[in-house]
Amino acid sequence: MLELHGQQLIGNATSAESDDTFQAANPTTGESLPTVFHEATESEIDRALTLAAKAFVAFRQTSAEDRARFLEVAADEVEALGQQLIDTTMAETGHPEPRCVGERGRATGQARMFAQLAREGSWVDARIDLAQPDRQPLPKPDVRSLKFPVGPIVVFGASNFPLAISVFGADTVSALAAGCPVVVKAHPAHPATCELVARAILKAAEQTGMPEGVFSMVQGRTNAVGLGLVQHPETAAAAFTGSLRGGRALFDAANARPVPIPFYAEMGSVNPIFVLPGALKERGGEIASGYIQSLTLGVGQFCTNPGLVFGLDSEEMSSFVSGAAEGAKAAAPATMLHAGIHHAFTEGVNAMQHRSGLTLVGQSTAPADEAKSEAACYVFETDAEGLRNNPELYEEVFGPVSTVVKCPDGSDLEEFASQMEGSLTASIHGTEEDLANHRGLIDILEKKVGRLIFNGFPTGIEVCHAMHHGGPYPATAHSYFTSIGTRCIDRFVRPLCFQGWPQSQLPEELQDTNPRGILRLVEGEYTKDPVQK
């Protein structure tokens, strides 16, 4: 069992320069946990990123096989932490053991997925256009390009996924797979979990011969640590999952630098569900049950929990609301991640209860224990005028609370979809006839979200090659990019073009013989064959 020390992990060294310390708290009991963690200083942040910049020179030249092996060994080492990691995560988050075990599996599984991506190699999008020296009126040069790592990446650990979107989450493993060193800012709500995982990654780096500085982690609960990481001149890009307020502040800082950098923020959304008439008639009760399950999953602390539900006013819609209300009453309160999230949730629900035109139709029957930071489930109901008079309903309240909106006709559905801000997801429950009758709604939603779901629910994101977990602002800072799935590697690379270079000096992916056997775009056609001249 590893003994925690609460210090910064800067390459192979530890550091604790500051006397400013903090402790995590068990959200179930409110008790402080034993390990004392040191706030990172400006000089420690500087050392971590300076070391990462030095490591980048060597790390970007490592083979794809070496990087893949590094990720696989790191996954093995995270798993080797065993019950200590699970117990630590449970104590810091209030998550039940099955959730922690499942999330660890998601983290190690996606690391191995990125190892396979790096090993296969076609993700670099190699393109080759051959020279035409005799072309008139001007000769055409030999032009080749691929995706090239940008440099040291800063990753912010998320509060709601202490394993899968944190120190060893998709941000970190995709950056490492691309050839970029990583400096992680541990989340102050679960610093011990972060330390355990970071030490496993560093052990893997040593075992696989990676350059020192390929990975570092700093602790901090103040805004100064996050700003210092984003503003450091060696930081090439940063990735963040969290609140709109925090993400926007860091995004602004990234763009205010003398040399702006990409800042990829995933900031949550209301994830609306539209329940169309045909689906209501066929399976309204089933949809209501699934909606409550999605709403309460993870105590409503997923960025994809549904915050708004829309349907046309009818007897079937009233039955749907009744079913959802009964589901909310049966939902047991549960502990939220930490007192800060619980406080914000409580304030948000209290504000909703005082809005005119909004009716609370369902609430957990069992009382929530404030001392344990427990959240009850709440379902509100309103009509079209109620939503028009309460535009605050378009804003996310993080936790198990949602509002059902009964609309007079389809034009209201389109109106409200048009007024929505960018969202990670939207879900449509319907029949094929419903889809044909509401094509205008679909056209609007296609411009508003990153993932459009049919007859399903937004929670339970599949980690796969085709997944897009992003959306127009304010869901994310850059709607073109995803933070889940293999495309998230594209955030940490840029196209680099080689013109007129000799074969011996080209990257393997661009050489005529195609020694890696990857898929390439050669003269406008995709092929794995060697270049024929």
Beta strands in 339-392 (DSSP E): 359-363, 374-375, 378-383
- 417-474: pLDDT as tens digits: 999 999 999 999 999 999 999 999 999 999 999 999 999 999 999 999 999 999 999 9
Cis peptide preceding 495, ω within 30 of 0: no
Q: Cβ–Cβ contacts within 10 Å for residue 515, how many? A: 10
Whether the per-residue pLDDT at 268 is higher than 90: the answer is: no
Strands (E), 449-527: 449-454, 493-499, 520-522, 525-527
| 183 strand-pairing partners | 154, 216
CA distance 68 to 177: 7
Task: Indicate if the alpha-carbon torsion angle 519, 525, 529, 532 is positive or negative.
Answer: negative
449 closest CA partner among 430, 477, 427, 416: 427
Kindly indicate the confidence band of residue 251, based on its pLDDT and cuts at 50, 70 and 90.
very high
The closest of 255, 189, 179, 243 to 398, measured between CA atoms, is 243
Using one digit for the tens of pLDDT, what is the confidence trace for 485-519?
999 999 999 999 999 999 999 999 999 999 999 99
pLDDT, tens digit, for every residue of 137-188? Answer: 999 999 999 999 999 999 999 999 999 999 999 999 999 999 999 999 999 9
Q: Which two tokens stand for residue 116?
A: 């396979």
For residue 263, the cross-strand partners are 238
Mean pLDDT for all residues in the chain: 97
pLDDT tens sequence across 6-18 = 999 999 999 999 9
Q: Are 349 and 397 in contact (CB under 8 A)?
A: yes
For range 36-65, the mean pLDDT: 98
Q: Active-site positions?
A: 266, 303
Q: 282-328 pLDDT, tens per residue?
A: 999 999 999 999 999 999 999 999 999 999 999 999 999 999 999 99
Please say whether the dihedral angle defined by the alpha carbons of residues 520, 525, 526 and 527, taken in this order, is positive or negative. negative
| Burial class, 119, CB count within 10 angstroms (exposed 0-12 / middle 13-18 / buried 19+) | middle
Predicted confidence (pLDDT) per residue in 332-367, tens digit: 999 999 999 999 999 999 999 999 999 999 999 999
Tally of CA atoms within 13 A in the half-sphere of 287 that contains its CB: 30
Report the pLDDT value the prediction gives residue 533, as an integer from 0 to 100: 79
Distance between CA atoms of residues 448 and 27, nearest Å: 35
Note the pLDDT of residue 142.
98
- pLDDT at 355 (0 to 100): 95
**Integer Cα distance of 201 and 171 in angstroms:** 14
User: What is the model's pLDDT at position 217?
Assistant: 98
What pLDDT sits at residue 155? 98
Buried b (16+ CB within 10 A) or exposed e, 308-337: bbbbbeeebbeebbebbbbbbbebebbbbb
Provide the pLDDT for residue 48.
Answer: 98
Nearest 5°: phi and psi at 166?
Answer: -150, -130
- Measured CA to CA, the distance from residue 476 to residue 445 in angstroms comes to 16
Q: CA-CA distance, 406 to 384, in Å (whole number)?
A: 6
Buried b (16+ CB within 10 A) or exposed e, 1-35: eeebebbbbbbeeebbebeeebbbbbbbeeeebeb
Q: What does the pLDDT read at residue 146?
A: 98
Indicate the helix (H) or strand (E) that contains 265. strand 263-266
Separate counts of helices (H) and strands (E) for the chain = 15, 23
